Each structure stands twice: as C-alpha cells, then as structure tokens.
C-alpha cells in the first residue's frame, strides 16, 4: 500500500498531513478529532434512520388470511371435500351412467367452487374494503390469497370427481375434466362478478342466490341430446378457452378495480 503514496503527500480523501517515521516503517496519522466526531455522528444518524422492519413471508401472509377466516367457512370447505369423496364413492358403487355422472359432478363442482369463492365476499362487505386497501397486506393481495385458497380446494374436488368418472366414458379422463371445467369456469366468472357487484349489501342472501343460479346454469348441457360424445369435443374445447379468457379478464378486472371498490 505504501508504494502508492509519496513520502510527504496527503492521504487521499482525508485532507490530513501524514508523516513517515522512517526507522519503524509504520504509518502514523495525526487524528482529526472534529472530523472523527462528525463521521461518527453521521454514521449514528444513518443507523437511526435505518429502521428494522418485519416483512412477513408469503407463507406467513397466507397463514394470516387462513387463520382469521370464520369457522363456518372452514366447515363448509371441509363439508365440500367430504361430499366430493362421498359423491365419487357413490357414483362408483352404484355404477351410475356416464352422462348422469358427469352432469352430477359438474353441478357439484360449480356449487363447490362458488362456496369456496364466497370467502372473498367478506373482503368486499361491511365497508372493510377501504380499510383493507390501506393495510400492508392490501385488498388486492388478500383477494389473490383467497382465490388461491379456493382454487386449491376446487382442484382437490375436481381430482376426486374426475378420478371416479373419467375411466367410465369412451372419451377418457381428459375429456371428463373438460366437461366439468367448462361450467365451472363460466359460473366462477359470473359469481366473481356478482361478488364485487353486490358488495356492501350486508345481507348475504343475494350472493347466495347468485351462487344457486350459477349452479343451475351448470345444467346447460342437458339442453342437448348427448353432449358428452366425442363429436362435440371441439365445441367443449372452444367453450373452455372462452371460459378461461373470461375468468382471466374478470380476475384482472376485480384486482384492477380493488381501488375503486374500496
């Protein structure tokens, strides 16, 4: 290091004259007490301004949303899973025809989806949205967590039902998933719209009625003679893609409108 300085130069940046004792080969700098105190004060100020903050992890945020949900909602989610298992078991045991099985599973999945999604309704009710929007974990994040949670339960229900009915048709498990997903996506889109459109009504009956209507809409394939045959698969594929796009648009709208909702 010493080679970088001339013998009677200045220490770069410090502005302090330095000396070279010669015999010991050790550097000695005279201490500038004022500069030292100023530097220490600046460091202290910077340290005080540096606040230690707790930033909860995604898992902690998820857990916080889950643990403060009402027991009624938890119970209904449990009941949905249990009923899905019982339905799958019943359809297998009784060897119910494919057409009736798919119809029953579609309607059940739609009701299950709406029930799971109804947990979001709370966020938009009782004037809570405005306050929630100003919290560290804001309304948008709460809605995302709620949808994620509902999606996990729906996926479990869909798995039970598809596993029980998929193997019995000629079109296979993938087609079976398609038949169940189409009414599910369409009704979820509609129900999500109703949830935000009917916010702050404070009585839950309107939302409940919307859920029932959405469930009944899942019976629309009954309008055709045999909707679950292979010839109609392109139609079902188109309906699935449209449903996916509509649901994505509705989720985008809901999240984008969180501020206006608040």
Partner 1 sequence: MPQLVLDRVTRHFKNKIAVDAVSLRLQPGIHGFLGANGAGKTTLLRMLCGVLKPTSGEIRCNGTDIRVLDGEYRYLLGYLPQDFGYYPDFSAKRYLEYLAACKAVPDALAKERVQEMLHLVGLDGEQRQKIKSFSGGMIRRLGIAQALLNDPEILILDEPTSGLDPKERIRFRNIISALSKEKIVILSTHIVSDVEFIADQILLMKQGRIIEKGSSRDVTDSAAGKVWEYLARPDEAERLNGEFSVSNLRNEGDRVYLRIVSDRCPCQGAALAQPGLEDVYLYYFEELAEETL
C-alpha–C-alpha distance, residues 176 and 161, integer Å: 9
Closer to partner 1 at the Cβ: 75 or 174? 75
C-alpha–C-alpha distance, residues 136 and 119, integer Å: 20
Tell me which residue of 204, 202, 220, 201 sits closest to 114, measured CA to CA.
Answer: 204
By CB under 8 A, name the binding residues for partner 1: 53-56, 64, 67-68, 70, 122, 126-138, 142, 259, 262
To partner 1, the closest distance from the beta carbon of 70 in angstroms equals 7
To partner 1, the closest distance from the beta carbon of 120 in angstroms equals 14
Closer to partner 1 at the Cβ: 11 or 126? 126
Closer to partner 1 at the Cβ: 85 or 137? 137
To partner 1, the closest distance from the beta carbon of 126 in angstroms equals 5
To partner 1, the closest distance from the beta carbon of 260 in angstroms equals 9
To partner 1, the closest distance from the beta carbon of 46 in angstroms equals 14
Closer to partner 1 at the Cβ: 7 or 53? 53
Which residues are CB-contacts of 107 (< 8 A; sequence separation ≥ 6)? 183, 215, 218, 219
Closer to partner 1 at the Cβ: 132 or 154? 132
User: Within 13 Å of residue 166, how many CA atoms lie on the same side as its CB?
Assistant: 15
Closer to partner 1 at the Cβ: 66 or 241? 66
To partner 1, the closest distance from the beta carbon of 199 in angstroms equals 11
**Cα separation values, 162 from 80, 91, 93, Å:** 15, 11, 15
C-alpha–C-alpha distance, residues 188 and 204, integer Å: 17
The residue written with tokens 């099985």 in the block is 101
Q: Hey, what long-range contacts does 199-202 have (CB within 8 A, 24 or more apart)? A: 199/121, 199/124, 199/125, 199/129, 199/261, 200/124, 200/125, 200/126, 200/127, 201/125, 202/125, 202/126
């Amino acid at each position: 290091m010493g080679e970088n300085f001339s013998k009677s130069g200045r220490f770069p940046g410090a502005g302090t004259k330095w000396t070279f004792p010669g015999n010991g080969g050790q550097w000695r700098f005279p201490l500038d007490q004022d500069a030292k105190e100023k530097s220490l004060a600046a460091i202290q100020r910077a340290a005080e301004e540096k606040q230690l903050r707790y930033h909860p992890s995604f898992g902690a945020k998820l857990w916080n949303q889950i643990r403060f949900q009402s027991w009624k909602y938890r119970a209904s989610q449990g009941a949905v899973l249990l009923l899905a298992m019982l339905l799958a078991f019943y359809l297998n045991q009784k060897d119910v025809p494919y057409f009736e099985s798919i119809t029953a599973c579609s309607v059940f999945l739609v009701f299950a989806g709406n029930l799971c999604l109804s947990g979001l309704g709370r966020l938009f009710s009782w004037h809570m949205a405005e306050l929630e929007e100003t919290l560290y974990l804001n309304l948008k994040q709460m809605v995302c967590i709620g949808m994620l949670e509902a999606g996990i339960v729906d996926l479990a229900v869909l798995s039970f039902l598809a596993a029980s009915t998929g193997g019995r048709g000629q079109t296979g498990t993938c087609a079976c998933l398609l038949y169940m997903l189409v009414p599910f996506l369409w009704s979820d889109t509609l129900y999500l719209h109703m949830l935000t459109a009917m916010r702050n009504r404070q009585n839950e009956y309107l939302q409940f009625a919307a859920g029932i209507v959405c469930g009944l809409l899942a019976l629309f394939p009954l309008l055709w003679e045999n909707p679950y045959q292979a010839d109609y698969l392109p139609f079902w594929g188109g309906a699935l893609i449209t449903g996916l796009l509509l649901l994505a648009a509705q989720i985008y709208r809901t999240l984008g409108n969180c501020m206006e909702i608040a």
